[in-house]
Amino acid sequence: MVTIYVGSTAGYTGKTLVSMGLGSRFQRDGFKVGYFKPVGILPVKIDDTLTDNDAWRIYRGLNLSDPLTDLCPVVLTQELLVKSYLKDVKGLMKRIENSFKRISINKDIVIVGGYGSIYTGSFLDLQGLKVIKKLEAKVVIVVKYEGEYIADYVLQAKRDLKERFLGVILNKITPEYHKSVEEYVEPFFKRKGIDILGKVPHDSIVGSITVEELNEMLGGKVLSCHHCLGNLVEHFLIGAMQVDKAIEYFKKTRNNAVIVGGDRADIQLSAMESGSVCLILTGDLYPSEIIISRAEQKNIPIIVVREDTYSIAKKLEKLSVRLRLRDKSKVERGMKLISENVNFDLIYRKTGLRS
């Protein structure tokens, strides 16, 4: 049995999607796959069993059948967080080991999902590095590619992981960074003996969010088109200019949501006419009936939020790094992306699963 730990050197790099993508391809290639999340940070109760939301999605996505209670033995609820700061909570690592043992039975590969970075978790004495050693896992580091500097972190991870280090998957590479990957990072990693297991391009649909999630995150009220809450938003624009400029700007961007003051009927109309998929009205200002009925006609949900435009934009910026895989079409597209852009032969070879 091979244990592959999917970790990172920072949070929100796309570990969940990579885990799901790896698992699904492994299954397709004929392996018996398990998934295990030692520490979860997204508490959810499934039939009264406390587990982690991301882990639950992968569990379902891969059609797994291990007992749910073992899927994620330590979930960081507010409760656990408070208690661990007030006094040391004992027995957590034991719980992880036991669950992992049960999950590994009858598996060729168990994918272990890390949380945060491989250095996170020390406050619970459950640091990623420590868990990796306990579970005797090989490690794939997922990096969100944001420029050459990430090489620095990968190097450190390799030093810390030693022989457990399998290689790195560069994720969410936007077109402007293609050259930087090819010209600097690939030759550099080669020289340092680091294998690049995958180069996954950024995909705006995978990075999109449904209007429903958006509304939940922003704590808004939906005023129209409750049946279109599944609309996917890929980009956010701020509507604060003159109408004629605004139309140009809105038209150039696919599947955009426009953030605009609730009293700017002119911008709201032009956004709807130029193909925006959602309006986010700020300042707790409600639009006129004309706007609402137009939105109904064009199937564009309108969300009213309390904060001003800048605060909402700031919130969305934070939000974009921690998108969750909820939507089925997004998941499928994401898995395909992994399958196509990760070098599975190399992984199999390095883990001895195939020669």
Partner 1 sequence: MMNNFFNPKSIAVIGASRTPGKVGYDILKNLIQYGFEGAIYPINPGADNILGRKAYPSLLDVPDNIDLAVIVVPPKNVLEVINQCGAKHIDSAIIITAGFKESGIEGLKLETEIVNKAKELGMRFIGPNCLGVIDTHSKMNASFAAGMPAKGSIGFFSQSGALCLAVLDRALPDEIGFSKFISMGNKSDISDIDIMLALSEDENTKVVLGYIEGISDGKSFMEVAAKVSKKKPVIILKSGVTSSGAKAASSHTGALAGREAAFDAAFKQCGIIRVHTINDLFNYALAFANQPLPKGPDMAIITNSGGPGILAADACDKAGLQLIPLHKELVDELRTFLPPVASFYNPIDILGDSGAERYEKALLTVLKDERINGVLILLTPTATVNVEETSISIANIAKTTDRPLLTSFMGKKSIESGAKTLLRSGVPNYNYPEEAVSAINAMYRYHLWINRPEKKYHSFEGLRDKAQGIFSNAKRENRERLTELEVHDVLNAYGFNMPRSLFARTSEEAVAAAKGIGYPVVMKIISPQIIHKSDIGGVKVNLKNKKEVENAFFDITTKVKNIMPHAHIYGVLIQEMVPSGKEVIMGITKDPQFGHMIMFGLGGIYVEVLKDVSFRIVPVSQEDAYEMIRETKTFPLLRGVRGETEADIEAIEKSILILSQMAIDFPQIIEADINPLLVRKRGRGVIAIDARFAIGGD
What does the binding site for partner 1 look like in residue numbers (CB under 8 A)? 42-45, 50, 77-79, 82-83, 216-217, 219-220, 261, 263, 282-286, 306-308, 311, 318, 322
**Choice between 137 and 258, CB closer to partner 1:** 258
Nearer to partner 1, 43 or 275 (CB): 43
Q: What's the DSSP call for residue 321?
A: T
Shortest Cβ 6–partner 1 spacing (Å): 21
Residue 140 vs 238, nearer CB to partner 1: 238
Q: How far is CA 292 from CA 295, 296, 321, in A?
A: 5, 6, 31
Q: Nearest distance from residue 43's CB to partner 1, in Å?
A: 5
Q: Which is nearer to partner 1, 234 or 307 (CB)?
A: 307
* Number of Cβ within a 10 Å radius of residue 256: 22
Which CB, 34 or 301, lies closer to partner 1?
301
Nearer to partner 1, 192 or 314 (CB): 314
Give the type of residue at 312: I
- Residue 299 CB, shortest distance to partner 1, in Å, is 23
Name the pairing type of β-strands 109-113 and 2-8: parallel
For partner 1, the closer of residues 205 and 285 by Cβ is 285
DSSP letters of 237-294? EE--S-HHHHHHHHHTSTTEEEEEETT-HHHHHHHHHTT-SEEEEETT-PPPHHHHHH
Query: What distance separates the 2 farthest-apart alpha carbons in the chain?
Result: 67
Least distance between partner 1 and beta carbon 201 (Å)? 27
- CA–CA dist 18, 169 (Å, integer): 9
Q: Which helix (H) or strand (E) holds 296?
A: helix 289-298
DSSP letter for 119, please: T
DSSP 139: E
* Calpha distance 169→15 (Å, rounded): 10
Which runs of consecutive H residues, i.e. helices, occur in 62-176? Answer: 68-71, 78-86, 92-104, 128-134, 150-161
Q: How far is the CB of 84 from partner 1 (least distance, A)?
A: 11
Least Å distance, CB 258 to partner 1, is 17
Residue by residue, DSSP assigns 200-229 as EEP-TTTT-EEHHHHHHHHT-EE-S-GGGT
Contact (Cβ atoms closer than 8 angstroms) between residue 303 and residue 221: yes
Closer to partner 1 at the Cβ: 63 or 78?
78
Least Å distance, CB 282 to partner 1, is 8
- Considering the complex, what minimum distance in angstroms separates the CB of residue 286 from partner 1? 6
